[in-house]
Structure 1
Amino acid sequence: METEGVRTDRLGLLLGQFDQAREMAQVRLTGLRDEEYLWEPVAGCWSVRRRGEAVTPRAYGPGEWVLDKGAPDIPANEYAEIARQAADGMTVAKIAEDWSVSTERVEEVLAHTGTPEPDATPVTTIAWRLGHLHSCFAGQWEWTFGERRQDPNLLVDFTPSAALALDRFWALIDRWRDGVAAITDEQLDTVGFSQYPYGSDPGDPFATVLAGANLEFIHHMAEIALLRDLRRARLTTPA
């Protein structure tokens, strides 16, 4: 359905939101230099590092450069999602498997009452945020439109070059967008149309998966933009 040239159907709204977010992000990332891309505003940042120099236990990637990744856990901002999964009939064992945590940890989360305390999450570089987004979208493309067999952790060859990282990222985003634009209403409602193994995709209608992918893109791009602003302000504001 269109209203004065604007699509108002479900897929049209999701694509429109994604397209607008992408346009804004591409402008905000124009001219990104290597020193910004790898800038660590505080000690202990997560970033893209050479294999063997990673500061986290589960850093991953297929090549010389890997993306920092910490021990598995359920962050406080996902407690509500865990409760929804349990309410929808997902077993504690299955939730634990999906999040790579113990069943005891899931039970602890489900037993929590009140508003959870915010997590002490690590500060990450622009390189990390962009690499994380690239990895997520590459994995979801492979397990939705691809052969559904490759390890999501081995799909992205991370790089210390901002220009190369952006070229590869936008190419992947275009491929994702092309795949999404071609789906049918029936596929939009199909549970398990995406079989991406890291998360709830296999148990969700694809419309829900798309909404989640849009949210992931938007919030990480906002963080990247803020990191650029912060670095610029630090370099131009007198001490």
Structure 2
Amino acid sequence: MQIPGVRTDRLGLLIDQFDRAREMAQVRLRGLGDEEYLWEPAPGGWSIRRRGEATTPRAFGPGAWVLDQGAPDIPANEYDEVARQAAAGMSVAKIAEDWSVSVERVQEVLAHTGPAEPDEVPVPTIAWRLGHLHFCFAGQWEWTFGERRQEPKLLVDFTPSAALALERFWALIDRWRDSVAAITDAQLDTVGFSQYPYGSDPDEPFISVLWGANLEFIHHMAEIALLRDLWRSR
């Protein structure tokens, strides 16, 4: 039985999933203050920092505040994805280019056997997670629906103001959602419809890119929600 208002087409399912995730995220982010936004729950974490005070080797941003970014690597939770890339016929050199790592590192991952041990990773702040999402969606919009020429790392002016960061972020998300809702079935299946230069977007049908964008949004917003719970109970 068809339920009124519930879409079952491919694009409709992905948009509905995104809309529901956004609704929940907006509720969880209400009342976010600057102190909580920048709270570092563990030593050595990642955040946004004043230019010149960043503790990571590849921190970036166009303005006075930059987003922490570490050295490139392939995390343990992506080993299976690398194996799938190789099984699909992607060369080791191309995989290394996609992940910005050496050929030797890709060969090491492909040679790994048994369960991968979880990585020891820094604990990011809410500011970092929100800034990371903003950077990813801004870059994917520019290289899918925009002019496809601006450097993604220069698109987001990171800010220590939680209210301003959220205002800018939700405006971007509105633009992304409206642009996605207007695509055709043919565009959904087009390989390279997104030319986002970081990752494998140019080599995938856009439906796969869109699925991945939803996953990125959902899992980072879940992490932000948990950090809010920890802040309240600290």
Report the equivalent of 2:92: 92
Structure 1 length as normaliser, TM-score?
0.96
The answer to whether the aligner puts 1:38 opposite 2:38 as a matched pair is yes
State the alpha-carbon separation in 2 of the partners of residues 153 and 165 from structure 1: 16
1:124, 1:34 → 2: CA distance? 15
- Looking at structure 2, the residues matched to 148 and 5 of structure 1 have their Cα atoms a distance apart, in angstroms, of 34
Deviation at 1:56, TM superposition (A): 0.1
- Matches of residues 127-206 of structure 1 in structure 2 within 5 Å? 127-206=127-206
Partner of 2:214: 214
Q: Structure 1, residues 138-177: CA drift from partner, whole Å, max 9, x if none?
A: 0000000001111111110000000000000000000000
**Structure 2 equivalent of residue 56 of structure 1:** 56
Q: Could you say what secondary structure the match of 2:59 adopts?
A: coil
**Structure-2 residue corresponding to 1:23:** 23
C-alpha root-mean-square deviation of aligned residues, in Å?
Answer: 0.7
Which SS does the other structure have where 1:6 is aligned?
A: coil
How far the C-alpha of 1:3 sits from its partner, in A, is 4.0
- The one-letter amino acid paired with 1:197 is P
Mapped partners of 1:105, 1:204: distance in 2? 23
Runs of 4+ in structure 1 deviating by more than 3 angstroms, as ranges, are: none
The percent identity for this pair of structures is: 83
AA aligned to 2:119 is D
Q: 1:117: Cα distance to partner?
A: 0.4
User: Which whole-Å deviations, capped at 9, do the CAs of 1:99-130 have from their partners, x for residues lacking one?
Assistant: 11000000000011111000001100000000
Correspondence for 2:66 = 66
Corresponding residue for 1:227? 227
Q: Which residue of 2 aligns with 1:112?
A: 112
Q: CA deviation at 1:6?
A: 1.0
Q: Which residue of 1 aligns with 2:76?
A: 76
Give the Cα–Cα distance (whole angstroms) in 2 for the partners of residues 208 and 98 of structure 1.
Answer: 16
Q: TM-score, normalised by structure 2?
A: 0.98
Instruction: Map Cα deviations across residues 49-89 of structure 1 (whole Å, 9 max, x no partner).
Output: 00000010000000100000000000000000001111111
Q: Cα offset for 1:208?
A: 0.6
Gaps of 5+ in 1: 235-239
Distance 2:107 2:64 in 1: 38
Q: Note the residue ranges of structure 2 that are not aligned, 5 or more in a row.
A: none
SS at match of 1:73: coil
Shift of 1:137: 0.2
Aligned length: 233
Equivalent in the alignment of 1:8: 8
Equivalent residue letter for 1:53:
E
Deviation at 1:45, TM superposition (A): 1.1
